[in-house]
Structure 1
Amino acid sequence: MKIFMGNRAGTAPAARDTGAARAHVRELLRECRRHGPAEVFDRRAERCRIRTVAVVVPYYAPHVGGAESYAARIAHAVADDPMLRAVVITTNLTGGRTEVGGEGDVLIVRLGSWARVSNTPVSPLWPLQVRRWLRRLDVDIVNAHAPVPGLGDVAVAVSGRRPTVVTYHAGSMIKGRPCHDRLLGWYERYFLPRMFSRASALVAVSPTSLASGRPGTIEITPGVDVERFTPGPAASTRPRTIVYVGRMDRTSSWKGVEVLLRGFTALADMPEVGLKLVGGGDALPDHLSLARQLGIGDRVEFTGELAGDALVAAMQRAAVLVLPSLTEAECHPMTLIEAMACGTPVVGSDVGGIPYVMTPGVTGLLVPPGDADALAATCRRLLYDGALADRLGAAGRRRAVERYAWPALTERYVQLFRSLLPAAPASRQGRA
C-alpha cells in the first residue's frame, strides 16, 4: 500500500484533506460495527495482497519453440506488474525429478516427466503434483497453455475454484499418421471441448486455433520483440541465402523440410544460392542424408538451434525466409513474424495460420502446401527481383510493429487476469 504525503499545487490544503480523512474514518467505523474489526482488516488486507498467476506450459526455455516464447512473455509481463506475481509450471525434459529454479522474478517449477508420447511429455504423477504446487505457491489464477495434450489439461482439471485461462495454440493436430491420428481425433472431438468449457476465459492464438469461434473466445496472437528483431540490410543486398527456422523432429514432418530440400534442387542453375536450416531434432540425420542423395549437400548448412543474437543475425542476413508447412497444425508461426520484423521477405504455405500472418503480395508470398516446384519458383522470383524483395521486407517490418509488438499483447493478458480476480475473494479454505 502506497501512502502519498502533501497536496497538489493550487488546491485548498487542510480543509479538503481533513474532510476526506474524516469521511474515510466514518466509513471505516461503520464497517467495523457491521462486520467486526477483524473481518474488516482481513478484507482490506486481501484487496492489497499480491496475487499469483501460474503459467502452465509443457515446454519452457531453454527448450526452443513458439509456445515457450509466448508463455515466457506472459510470465514476465505478470512479474512486472506490482500487484501480481508469476510462477511457471512446466516439465523437466532431462529426468523424472522435480526441479525448482528461477528466471529473474519468475519462479519456475519443472515437474519430472517419465516418457514421451509422440512429442508430448507425460507422467502419471502430474495430477497430484500440480494440485500440490498450486496450493504451495498460493496460486490465484491458472493460465494453461495447450499446444499438445498433457500438462495443460491436467492443470485445468485440478485447478479447483481458481479462475482458469486456457490458451490454445494449435489447429488440428492430425498429421497423417494413422495410429496417432486416431488418438488425436478422439482427443479433439471428445476431451478438448470439455477442457474449453471448464475455462473461465478461452484464448485462441490464431483464427485457425481449435479454440477460435467458440462463444466468448478472445484472440491474442503471438508477438515479437521489435526492439530486438530489427531490420538488417535491404533484402536485395544480402547474401543469396534461403533460410528455414523451426523444429526438425520426425514427429514434426508436417513442417515440410523435405519439400524445401526437394524444391531447392530446382535452383541448381543458381550455384551462388545457399540453403540454411536452423533448428534441431531427431530428423536432422534424415535431412542431411536426403540433401546428399539429392546432390545438394555442399550447398545446405545445418546450424542446429540458434537463440538470442545468433538467431536475430541469421534472420537479418537471410535473402528469403521460408516456412513450407503442410497441415493445419501450423497455427500461428512466430518465425514468420520475427523474420518480418527483420525486414526479411517471407514465403509460406497457404495452410493453417500462415495466410493470417501475411497479406499475399504485400507482406509475403504464399505457395500451395507440398508443391516443391512452386516453392522453388517463388524463391527464385524474390532472389531475382530485388525491388519486390525490398518492398515485401519493408511492408513486413511495418506489419510486425503495428500488429505484433509484444507490449500491447501482454498487457491484454494482465488486464484479463485482473478482471478475473474479485475485489474481495472468499476464504481460500474451500479451494482444491
Structure 2
Amino acid sequence: MVVTPYFYPHMGGVQKYVYEIGTRLQRVFGHDLTIVSSNWHKEENTAKTEEIGGLEVVRLPYQFKVSSTPVSLGWERALRDLIRSERPDVVNGHMPVPFIADAAARAAAGMQVPYVLTYHNDLTGHDLPTRIIGRCYYPLLGSRTLHLSSAIVATSDYYAQQSSHLAGYLEKLRYAAPGVDLERFGGDRTDFLRRKYRLGDEKILLYVGHLDRESRHKGVQYLIRAMRIVRESLDAKLVVAGRGNYIDRYRRLAADEGVPEDIIFAGFIPEDEMPLYFNSADLLVLPSCDRAEGFGMVLIEAQACGTPVIGTDVGGIPFAVDDGVTGLIVPPGDVSGLAGAIVRVLDDPDLYRAMAENGPRRVRDLFTWEKSARVYDRVFCEAAGERA
C-alpha cells in the first residue's frame, strides 16, 4: 500500500515518482499495489476507488487545506480500515507534504504492518506562516514518523547527508533517485518550439515547473530578472512551461524588467509533448532557491534529450547535474551569476557540444525508473521479511 498526498491527474514530481515506480513494481517485479491518496478535487471530495495505469487508486476525502496541503483528522482511522481490508505486507508513505504520511505511519504501527517512508525533501517555507508550520512539523509529527519507519528511502545520498532531520536515521537510509523513461526522452533534436512559437535563430531557454504561490522555491523570479542581463549578450527567448496562480505576477515582473517580449508563457504542457519541448530547447534552467527542491526531475529529462542544463546549489540539484560536465551549478538567488552561466554555455560551442553528449550517457548510467524500482523491490521484500 503506497500512501501519497496527491496522485494523477494532479501533476507533480511526487506523483510521477509514485506512478513510474509503482507501475514497474507491479509489471516487472510482480508486486500488487494499492495507491491511497487524498481526493484533490474539491467538487468531488468523496471516497472513491478507480484504476489508473493498471494501479488501484483509493481516494480519501479531506476536511480542509492548509496552503495546498489536504488534511483530514479521520485519515488514520480510514487507513487502519484499509489496512484491515487490503492486508498489505508493507505500507509506504511519501513526505514532505505533512499529515497523510504521518497518519499512515501511525495506522501501520497500530496494525503491526512494516512502514517504509520515502523522504523526498525537507519541509521548508517561503513566508512566515509556512516557515512556522515547517518548524513545528518535525517535533509534532515528522520525527515520530521517521522513528516508526523500518526503512527510509531518499532520492540521493547527497541530499540525505545535508538534512539535519535525517542525521539520526542514517542506518535506515536507502536511495532511489527519480528516473527517466528512456523510450520517451531522447531521440533526435527537433524544431518543434521554433515552429510552434514562430521563432527565428534565437537561443531558446526553457523552464518547466509549477507557477503557483506554493512553488516560489522554484525561483522563476530570478530567471526572469536574469533575462534582462542575458539579452545584453544574446538573442534569446525564454519559454516558461507550467501553470499556476502566480503567472500574472511573473508577467508583471517581466514587464518591469523590460523583457515582456522575450518571455513566452506556454501554459500547461501535456505529458506526451514534454520530450518535444526538451528536444527543441537549447538550454533548460531550474533556478530553485531552497531545499524544497529535493531533486529536480526536469533536469535529468532534459539531459536525456541532450539538452544542457543550469541548476542551483540547493537541495538535490547538485546530484542531478554534474557541474561542468552535463550543465552548470550556480548559487541560488544570484541573478548575475545565473545570467553569466546561461551566456557561458550558449556562447561556447565546444562546451555546449560536450555537455549535450555527456548528458544522455549519465542519465543512462544513473537515472532510470527500472534501477529505482529494483531498489524498492529489495526494500519492500526486506520489510515484509522482517514482518514474517
TM-score, length-normalised on structure 1? 0.81
Structure 2 residue aligned with 1:69: 16
Distance 1:328 1:358 in 2: 15
Q: 1:302 aligns with which of 265, 275, 281?
A: 265
Structure 2 residue aligned with 1:410: 373
Structure 2 residue aligned with 1:9: none
Structure 1 residue aligned with 2:177: 221
Residue 338 of structure 1: CA displacement?
A: 0.7
Contact persistence 1:148–1:170 (CA under 8 A): no
Structure 2 residue aligned with 1:327: 290
Instruction: Confirm or deny that 1:55 pairs with 2:2.
Output: yes
In structure 2, do the counterparts of structure 1 residues 286 and 423 end up closer, same or farther at CA, with 3 Å as the change threshold?
closer
Instruction: Confirm or deny that 1:169 pairs with 2:120.
Output: yes
Q: Secondary structure at the match of 2:365?
A: helix
Residue 417 of structure 1: CA displacement?
A: 1.4
Q: Secondary structure at the match of 2:35?
A: strand
Distance 1:276 1:406 in 2: 27
Residue 337 of structure 1: CA displacement?
A: 0.9
Structure 2 residue aligned with 1:242: 205
Contact persistence 2:113–2:387 (CA under 8 A): no
Distance 2:53 2:321 in 1: 34
Residue 178 of structure 1: CA displacement?
A: 1.9
Contact persistence 2:75–2:103 (CA under 8 A): yes
In structure 2, do the counterparts of structure 1 residues 410 and 265 end up closer, same or farther at CA, with 3 Å as the change threshold?
same
Structure 1 residue aligned with 2:77: 128
Distance 1:397 1:271 in 2: 26
Deviation per CA, 1:392-415, whole angstroms, max 9, x where unpaired? 121111110000011121012112
Deviation per CA, 1:294-327, whole angstroms, max 9, x where unpaired? 2222221111222322111111111110010111
In structure 2, do the counterparts of structure 1 residues 384 and 266 end up closer, same or farther at CA, with 3 Å as the change threshold?
same
List, as ranges, runs of 4+ consecutive aligned residues in structure 1 with deviation greater than 3 Å.
209-213, 269-272, 422-425
Structure 2 residue aligned with 1:17: none
Contact persistence 1:234–1:343 (CA under 8 A): no
Structure 1 unaligned blocks of 5 or more: 1-53, 426-432
Distance 2:50 2:349 in 1: 48
Q: How many equivalent residue pairs?
A: 370
Residue 269 of structure 1: CA displacement?
A: 3.4
Q: Secondary structure at the match of 1:348?
A: strand
Deviation per CA, 1:241-267, whole angstroms, max 9, x where unpaired? 110111111122111000100110113
| Letter in structure 2 aligned against 1:168 | Y
Q: Secondary structure at the match of 1:110?
A: strand
Q: Secondary structure at the match of 1:289?
A: helix
Residue 193 of structure 1: CA displacement?
A: 2.0
Contact persistence 2:118–2:152 (CA under 8 A): yes
Deviation per CA, 1:217-262, whole angstroms, max 9, x where unpaired? 1111111111211044399x98611101111111221110001001
Deviation per CA, 1:361-391, whole angstroms, max 9, x where unpaired? 1111011110111111111122222221121
Superposed, which structure 2 residues align to 1:77-92 within 5 Å?
Answer: 77-81=24-28, 83-92=30-39
Structure 2 residue aligned with 1:356: 319
| Letter in structure 2 aligned against 1:198 | L
Structure 2 residue aligned with 1:394: 357
Structure 2 residue aligned with 1:179: 129
Instruction: Confirm or deny that 1:291 pairs with 2:240.
Output: no
Distance 1:423 1:299 in 2: 57
Q: Secondary structure at the match of 1:303?
A: strand
Distance 2:64 2:278 in 1: 34
TM-score, length-normalised on structure 2? 0.90
Structure 2 unaligned blocks of 5 or more: 192-199
Structure with greater Cα Rg: 1
In structure 2, do the counterparts of structure 1 residues 140 and 373 end up closer, same or farther at CA, with 3 Å as the change threshold?
same
Deviation per CA, 1:34-70, whole angstroms, max 9, x where unpaired? xxxxxxxxxxxxxxxxxxxx11111111222111111
Distance 2:233 2:264 in 1: 16
Residue 189 of structure 1: CA displacement?
A: 4.2
Residue 424 of structure 1: CA displacement?
A: 9.3
Q: 1:198 aligns with which of 121, 125, 148?
A: 148
Distance 1:147 1:137 in 2: 25
Distance 1:194 1:362 in 2: 40
Contact persistence 1:241–1:319 (CA under 8 A): yes
